[in-house]
């Protein structure tokens, strides 16, 4: 965005001046001391903690991400990790490393995005740190609470479990592609473009799935065992990680994976499947649970959710295609996103 270095800049305000302008994004009673004191988990709930570091030029860029969106996405990623544990949020801390020549308005926009996302999930910034850095970096730590017997673990998948995805995959990666190559989407309607671009810029952590999930399991007097994780590093990665952690294999049916409607207008079929399986950042949940509650969950979540396959014996994850268009293949972790 063109105003990244406009005046006043961070160095004009100094640390205290910048902190004063950022305080409006925090509840008044948690700022101004060495650390924040917040109500801990409720009685009988465990504390859940997750942290992410995002770096300018690596995880976000002015080309595709406004500061508001960078803030939103960073929060969404952390809240998605809480959702993937079955936890509800208690608050986040924000650590910002920043160059002195960044516009104050850029920093405020970043915190606005952070704050906007938090508000959607009734939670807040409870602490932070700002420091000078040669590159902008954003470290978010989110904490939440979970009832110990409702913790969603990667290790809990069992042979025969249905594998549920809570929404479409590939949209975020396609949205990024549209931002990088606007020409690509010239045949899409505004609504179609927006769907994909918003999936990239404003992903929604699936905290909404949790009460639905527990209602179904409690109503069914079912056991509360659910394995799961989020698909932040891609759908294939999620299934593979779940299987590895649980010591099981899986079979995924390609034709059951919910796709965004217009992907085939943007890229070759091979490319589209790469986005769907390995694109990442869709921040859906991938859950493993017995068939009956799985089907009930999909029904309540609506049409973009689906049972895409089953946990199987062994340790291989097979991607099959009952329509016969694609050959069967074994998925591997090596194609996923590697940070180095």
Query: Which residues in 225-264 contact a copy of itself (CB under 8 A)?
Result: 229-230, 245
Task: Kindly tell me which of 58 and 220 has the beta carbon lying closer to a copy of itself.
Answer: 58
Query: What angle separates helix 235-246 from helix 269-278, to the nearest 10 degrees?
Result: 50
The reply to whether 289 sits near a copy of itself by the rule CB under 8 A is: no
Q: Which residue has the tokens 């309607």?
A: 189
Q: Which of 28, 35, 190, 325 is the binder for a copy of itself (CB under 8 A)? A: 35
Task: Kindly tell me which of 59 and 193 has the beta carbon lying closer to a copy of itself.
Answer: 59
User: Could you tell me if 72 and 111 are in contact, meaning their C-beta atoms sit under 8 angstroms apart?
Assistant: no
The reply to whether 144 sits near a copy of itself by the rule CB under 8 A is: yes
User: Could you tell me if 256 and 195 are in contact, meaning their C-beta atoms sit under 8 angstroms apart?
Assistant: no
Task: Kindly tell me which of 82 and 276 has the beta carbon lying closer to a copy of itself.
Answer: 82
Give phi and psi for 274, each to the nearest 5.
Answer: -65, -45
DSSP letter for each residue of 176-239? HHHHH-GGGGTTS-HHHHHHHHHHHHS----TTHHHHHHHHHHHTT-----EEEE-TT-HHHHH
Q: Which residue has the tokens 């034709």?
A: 255
The reply to whether 90 sits near a copy of itself by the rule CB under 8 A is: yes
* Structure token pair of residue 226: 């659910």
Nearest distance in Å: CB 150, a copy of itself: 11
The reply to whether 134 sits near a copy of itself by the rule CB under 8 A is: yes
Residues 174-233 that bind a copy of itself (CB under 8 A): 229-230
The reply to whether 143 sits near a copy of itself by the rule CB under 8 A is: yes
Please choose, from the candidates 156, 296, 313, 301, the residue with its C-alpha nearest in 3D space to the C-alpha of residue 226. 156
Pairing of strands 88-98, 125-132: parallel
Please choose, from the candidates 251, 279, 252, the residue with its C-alpha nearest in 3D space to the C-alpha of residue 263. 279
The reply to whether 93 sits near a copy of itself by the rule CB under 8 A is: yes
Q: Residue 128: in which H helix or E strand, if any?
A: strand 125-132
Q: Pick the stretch among 77-85, 107-115, 271-279, 299-307 that binds a copy of itself (CB under 8 A).
A: 77-85
Q: Which of 33, 322, 323, 325 is the binder for a copy of itself (CB under 8 A)? A: 33
Q: Which of 27, 57, 160, 247 is the binder for a copy of itself (CB under 8 A)? A: 57
Q: Pick the stretch among 146-154, 187-195, 273-281, 287-295 that binds a copy of itself (CB under 8 A).
A: 146-154
Task: Kindly tell me which of 90 and 276 has the beta carbon lying closer to a copy of itself.
Answer: 90
Task: Kindly tell me which of 34 and 270 has the beta carbon lying closer to a copy of itself.
Answer: 34
Residues in the interface with a copy of itself (CB under 8 A) total 76
Nearest distance in Å: CB 44, a copy of itself: 9
Dist. CA 26–CA 24, nearest whole Å:
5
């Amino acid at each position: 965005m063109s105003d990244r270095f406009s005046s006043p800049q961070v160095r004009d305000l100094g640390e205290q001046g910048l902190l004063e302008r950022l305080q409006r994004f925090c509840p008044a009673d948690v700022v101004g001391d060495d650390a924040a004191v917040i109500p801990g988990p409720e009685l009988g709930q465990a504390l859940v903690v997750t942290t992410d570091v995002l770096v300018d030029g690596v995880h976000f860029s002015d080309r595709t991400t406004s500061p508001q969106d960078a803030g939103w996405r960073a929060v969404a990623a952390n809240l998605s990790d809480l959702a993937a544990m079955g936890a509800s949020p208690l608050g986040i801390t924000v650590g910002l490393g920043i160059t002195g020549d960044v516009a104050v308005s850029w920093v405020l926009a970043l915190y606005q995005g952070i704050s906007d996302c938090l508000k959607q999930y009734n939670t807040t910034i409870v602490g932070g740190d700002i420091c000078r850095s040669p590159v902008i970096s954003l470290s978010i730590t989110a904490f939440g609470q979970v009832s110990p017997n409702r913790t969603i673990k990667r290790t809990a998948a069992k042979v025969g479990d249905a594998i549920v995805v809570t929404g479409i995959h590939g949209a975020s990666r396609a949205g990024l592609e549209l931002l990088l190559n606007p020409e690509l989407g010239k045949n899409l309607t505004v609504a179609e473009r927006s769907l994909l671009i918003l999936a990239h810029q404003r992903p929604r952590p699936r905290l909404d799935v949790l009460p639905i999930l527990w209602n179904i399991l409690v109503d069914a007097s079912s056991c509360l065992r659910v394995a799961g994780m989020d698909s932040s590093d891609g759908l294939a990665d999620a299934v593979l990680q779940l299987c590895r952690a649980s010591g099981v294999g899986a079979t995924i049916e390609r034709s059951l994976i919910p796709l965004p409607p217009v992907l085939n207008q943007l890229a070759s079929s091979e490319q589209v499947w790469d986005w769907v399986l390995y694109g990442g950042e869709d921040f859906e949940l991938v859950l493993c649970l017995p068939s009956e509650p799985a089907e009930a969950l999909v029904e309540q979540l609506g049409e973009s959710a689906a049972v895409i396959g089953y946990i199987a014996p062994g340790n291989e994850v097979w991607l099959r295609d009952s329509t016969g268009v694609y050959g069967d293949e074994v998925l591997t972790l090596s194609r996923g996103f590697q940070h180095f």
